[in-house]
Amino acid sequence: GKTTTRALTAAVVAARGPVCATTGNLNNHLGVPLMLSRLQPAHRTAVIEMGANHLGDIARLAAWARPQIGVITQAGDAHLEGFGSREAIARGKGELISALPAHGIAVLNADDAYCPVWQALAGDRRVIRFGLQAEAEVRAVDIAETAQSLGFTLVLPHDRAPVLLSLVGRHNLYNALAAAAVGLALGLDAAAISAGLAQAEGEAGRLRVFEADGGWRVADDSYNANPGSMQAGLDWLAAQPSPRWAVLGAMAELGAASDAAHRQVGAHAAQRGIDRLVAVGAAARGLALGFGDHAEWFASREQAISALQPDLAGGITVLVKGSRSAGMEQVVSALLQGRASSGKSSCSSN
């Protein structure tokens, strides 16, 4: 959720003036210095995304960027291969909090199991927690999700406002709350935060839903994948009317946990009542095994596309997701090529 949170945060803090925000995937030891070099005196705020594969990566990036506000979205399973465990991932993300100055502000996910660990690292620094728990300083109530939007009431300590996002998926609720917490840290009121969130658009490959002339929908969530985001995508798909198809590529960088993680995601799809699961690529076989007897597995994207296209019909919703290395955006393009009504996302505000 870092990249979506980055986009939402940039939209919120734009109320203060010009923003310099990370573009693309420039979030590593090469990308962060490049983004910092683009800062100009006119910029009021910099929103810098930081990625990591190993302990120490965030500490180095934070030493360069010297942030005043540090946001941790969650401790997920992404980059498990490099870190070795979820506990190590949490410690790695905690390096951002340790790098904050004494007057810095830590923005933490109150619903994450590692929130107390990060809060302890914050020490005497100000902490703003976001989530669904009542004790979170930034939270959401009256949540309403449709096929094309996500609405809720934003609740701050002494303020509230309705929010309507042109994004789908319950997981984006947390991304929006993280951005709202940054707005609160910078002194924005609920109305200004809501207005900023309403301006934010979904980024390519991050659960953007496209309508086809034939009446089916393709949900393009192909930008990247880990066990948590896979399950979040499947949870969104499960809330759609049947038939619901999941076309899934492999999840990379999971190390020794890879096979078990793929099987667990496949089992989750079955538990959520997904009607058809198509796994793509050698490393994705565990998805099919976890789903059960009715799953389909194809060695290549081309084979999967050939099997899917003849069966497409009105009313079907197809979720396409996988890690970058799986190249699942090619599946999205093939399913929509010559079939999309205008190439325009139904979740776009354009």
Domain around 320: 208-345
Q: Is residue 350 part of a domain?
A: no
Give the CATH number of the domain where residue 259 resides: 3.90.190.20
Element (H, E) at 266: helix 258-271
15 neighbors 192 (Cβ within 8 angstroms): yes
**114, 185: one domain:** yes
Q: Give pLDDT, residue 81.
A: 66
Opening angle at CA 155, ends 153 and 158, nearest 5:
140
- 135 and 260 in a common domain: no
Answer whether 0.75 is exceeded by the pTM. yes
**For residue 195, is it within any domain?**
yes
Q: Residues 168, 222: one domain? A: no
The residue from 148, 175, 199 where one domain ends is: 199
How high is the pLDDT of residue 202? 74
**Three-state secondary structure call for residue 41:** coil
Contact assessment for residue 221 and residue 232, using Cβ atoms and an 8 Å cutoff: no
| 51 & 133 share domain | yes
- Could you give the CA distance from residue 153 to residue 194 in angstroms, rounded to a whole number? 9
Whether 47 and 176 map to the same domain: the answer is: yes
143 and 77 in a single domain? The answer is yes
Residue 81 lies in a domain: yes
Q: Is residue 350 pLDDT above 60, yes or no? A: no
Amino acid, res. 206: R
Q: 97 with 73: CB under 8 angstroms?
A: no
In a domain, residue 218? The reply is yes
Note whether 177 and 212 are same-domain residues: no
How far is 238 from 293, CA to CA, in rounded Å? 19
Chain centroid, CA 266 distance in Å: 20
Q: Residue 194 domain-assigned?
A: yes
Domain end, chosen from 155, 172, 199, is at 199
Is the distance from CB of 225 to CB of 321 less than 8 angstroms?
yes
185 shares its domain with 240: no
151 and 228 inside one domain: no
For residues 48-77, average pLDDT: 93
Does one domain contain both 238 and 297? yes
The answer to whether 15 touches 195, Cβ cutoff 8 Å, is: yes
Q: Are residues 238 and 128 in the same domain?
A: no
Are residues 177 and 238 both part of a single domain?
Answer: no
Q: b vs e for 301-340, b when ≥16 Cβ sit within 10 Å of the residue's Cβ?
A: beebbeebeeebeeebbbbbbbbeebebbbbbebbbeebb
8 is a domain residue: yes
How many domains does the chain contain in total?
Answer: 2
Provide mean pLDDT across the span 215-240. Answer: 92
3-state secondary structure of 164: strand
Residue 341 has pLDDT above 50, yes or no: no
Q: Which two tokens stand for residue 339?
A: 């079939």
Q: Tell me the average pLDDT across 180-203.
A: 95
Predicted local confidence at residue 336, as pLDDT: 87
What would the pLDDT profile of 254-309 be if each residue is shown by its tens digit? 888 899 999 999 999 999 999 999 999 999 999 999 999 999 999 999 999 999 99
Q: For strand 150-156 and strand 159-165, is the pairing parallel, antiparallel, or unpaired? A: antiparallel
Question: CATH no. for residue 77?
Answer: 3.40.1190.10
Peptide bond into 243 cis (omega under 30): yes
Last residue of a domain, one of 162, 182, 199: 199
Between 1 and 306, the higher pLDDT residue: 306
Please check the confidence at residue 171 and state whether its pLDDT lies above 80: yes
Please list the helix, strand and coil fractions of the chain in percent, rounded to the nearest 5, in that order: 40, 25, 35
How much is the mean pLDDT over the chain? Answer: 91
pLDDT mean over 101-128 = 97
